[in-house]
Amino acid sequence: MTSKISRRSLIGKTLGISAGLAAGTSFEHRILMAQLSSRREKQAVEEAPVQGLQEGIFGGQRVSRLVIGGNLISGSAHAGELVYQSDLMTRYFDTERIFKTWTIAERNGINTTLMRSDPHIIEHYGRYLRERQGKLQWIAQTAPEQGDPVQNAKLARDNGSFAVYLHGGVSDGLVEEGKVDQIGEAVEGFKKLGVFSGVAGHKLETIQAVEKASIDPDFYMFTINKVNYLSSDPSEIDAFMEKIEKPWIGFKVLGAGREHPQEGFRHAFQRGADLIAVGMFDWQVRKDVKTAKELIAGDLARKRPWRA
């Protein structure tokens, strides 16, 4: 006698088979399968914004400890060998999507964004403040293709940025070439502009070289993650930064999407980062804020005092 199989039963069995096969598939395929097996109806009512995201004092401003990054908006997100990544990001983040993402960030307690100083960003940031009455503060990264970093920092300042740092790739390159003095010249130039002035890097050696040369930036920004993505050995970072009294913004804390926020955020804060800059899609913002808030309020086993 032939039995009838309901649609629900068939789906359940299919997903069960998929789960069984997952053990022999790649990490990427297991992630995709997990998404399929946990898919559910979207909530009809938008979740209430997260309240109470912690802040620090940075450059005389109250800055949320989770800062929204700008790489996705600029189309410069790191994505390995995916050649279409930049086009995908710039097509997704049209003007309306940029404004929506920033609005969600503000509603959930993020009060600062970290973005490069280029015409695309300056146009959208200015429009957001004027047209949407946005209040996001701006920490600016110098944009190498715009020429002289001090002039680029001036452009950022004149368009609302209160803090500027030298691009990490530029800093790394100058250290490798034995031109650390040029980092010092940039920092002094930034300070003359009256902005909170920093140096970024992807290697701990860059920060160490700046310290050894007695250059005196107001803050540092460099990578920290668990997955060894453009980041130095975590224990070495821990030992060195414990002695540094300047504020430290951690970035690439998720290894450009290779780590989950729960683990990446915890790692960065425990290793001593005072603020973390994270690129986020609009649909990730609320969850990321909730994760950061709960981690900071919990037991981080942090050795380094908060420097911001």
118 phi, psi to nearest 5 deg? -140, 165
What pLDDT does residue 225 have?
A: 86
Which pLDDT score is estimated for 5?
A: 47
Judged against a pLDDT cut of 80, whether residue 51 lies above it is answered with yes
Average pLDDT value for residue range 69-88: 69
> Which tokens go with 95?
């003007």
pLDDT of residue 236: 87
User: Quick one: pLDDT at residue 184?
Assistant: 98
Question: Which pLDDT score is estimated for 79?
Answer: 55
Q: What does the mean pLDDT of the chain come to?
A: 86
Least confident stretch, 59-68, 85-94, 240-249, 260-269 = 85-94
pLDDT bracket for residue 85 (50, 70, 90): low
Tell me what pLDDT residue 88 has: 74
| Alpha helices (runs of H) in the chain, residue ranges in sequence order | 7-22, 27-37, 71-74, 85-92, 95-107, 119-131, 149-158, 168-176, 180-192, 204-212, 234-241, 261-271, 285-297
Q: What number is the average pLDDT over the span 12-34? A: 50
Domain extents in the chain:
7-37, 55-297
Rg (CA), the chain: 21
- 277-296 tens-digit pLDDT: 999 999 999 999 999 999 99
Higher pLDDT, 2 or 222: 222
Residues contacting 78, CB < 8 A, separation 6+: 71, 229, 230, 252, 256, 257
Residue that wins the pLDDT comparison between 213 and 7:
213
pLDDT band at 19 (very low <50, low <70, confident <90, very high): very low
Closest CA to 56 of 187, 254, 219: 219
Give the DSSP letter of residue 42: P
The pTM of this model reads 0.84
Can you give the pLDDT at residue 27? 59
Buried b or exposed e, range 33-57, using 16+ CB within 10 angstroms: beeeeeeeeeeeeeeeebeebebee
Task: Give the class (CATH, top level) of 55-297.
Answer: alpha beta
Percent of the chain exceeding pLDDT 70 equals 80
pLDDT value of position 265: 96
Torsion of CA 215, 219, 224, 230, to 10 degrees: -50
Q: What is the pLDDT of residues 108-159, one digit of tens each?
A: 999 999 999 999 999 999 999 999 999 999 999 999 999 999 999 999 999 9
Pairwise pLDDT comparison (152 vs 255), residue with the higher score: 152
- pLDDT confidence tier of residue 81, bands split at 50, 70 and 90: low
Q: At what angle do helices 119-131 and 95-107 cross, to 10 degrees?
A: 60
At residue 10 the predicted structure's pLDDT band, cuts being 50, 70 and 90, is very low
Q: Is residue 141 a contact partner of residue 117, using CB atoms and an 8 Å limit?
A: yes
